[in-house]
Amino acid sequence: MKGMILYYSKSGTTEKLAKRIQQDLACDILKIEPEDPYGNYFSSLARVGKELKNKVPVHSVTEVPDLSGYDTVLVGYPIWYLEAPAFVTDFISRCNLAGKTVIPFATCGLANISSTLDTLKRVCPKSEVVHPLNWGIAKKDDYEEWIRAIR
């Protein structure tokens, strides 16, 4: 497997998980950055709520990489309002993921990655989205079992 990890982390939790995956799979890694950085936890929640309610387009400033040399792309993100951050899905939609395996991993409090999978499949229509990893406060999937399954 030749893999690339694309991820966003606000608090550092998703970044720690992304770097653990990078070490375990010897993947390349790229952090996705929002066009307008989010503030503290409470201001971020308020902002994301307004963006969702008003359907505000949110973009990233990260340059889309050439993924032609990769067969697997792992996508990591926190779950906000039961979804992946809008600028993450915008970024992913601009990547050429046709024919690639996309493996999502998400960090969350009480949510579950399953709430984000339809959106991810919609922005990766020509990819196979498989083996999601939920890394939450309330429920964590078995990381060791997950990493064995994707090797």
Asked whether the predicted pLDDT for residue 139 surpasses 90, the reply is no
Tokens of 48: 């994301």
Asked whether the predicted pLDDT for residue 86 surpasses 90, the reply is yes
3-state secondary structure of 14: helix
Q: Is the pTM of this model over 0.85?
A: yes
pLDDT 10s digits, 88-108:
999 999 999 999 999 999 999
According to DSSP H, which parts of the chain are helical? Answer: 13-25, 41-53, 86-94, 117-123, 143-150
* Residues written for the chain: 151
**CATH number 1.10.3470.10 is the correct assignment for the domain at 3-150:** no
pLDDT 10s digits, 15-66:
999 999 999 999 999 999 999 999 888 888 899 999 989 989 999 999 999 9
Q: For residue 78, give every residue at least 6 positions away whose Cβ sits within 8 Å of its Cβ, in sequence order, or none.
A: 8, 9, 10, 11, 13, 14, 85, 106, 107, 108
* Cβ atoms 24, 16 nearer than 8 A: no
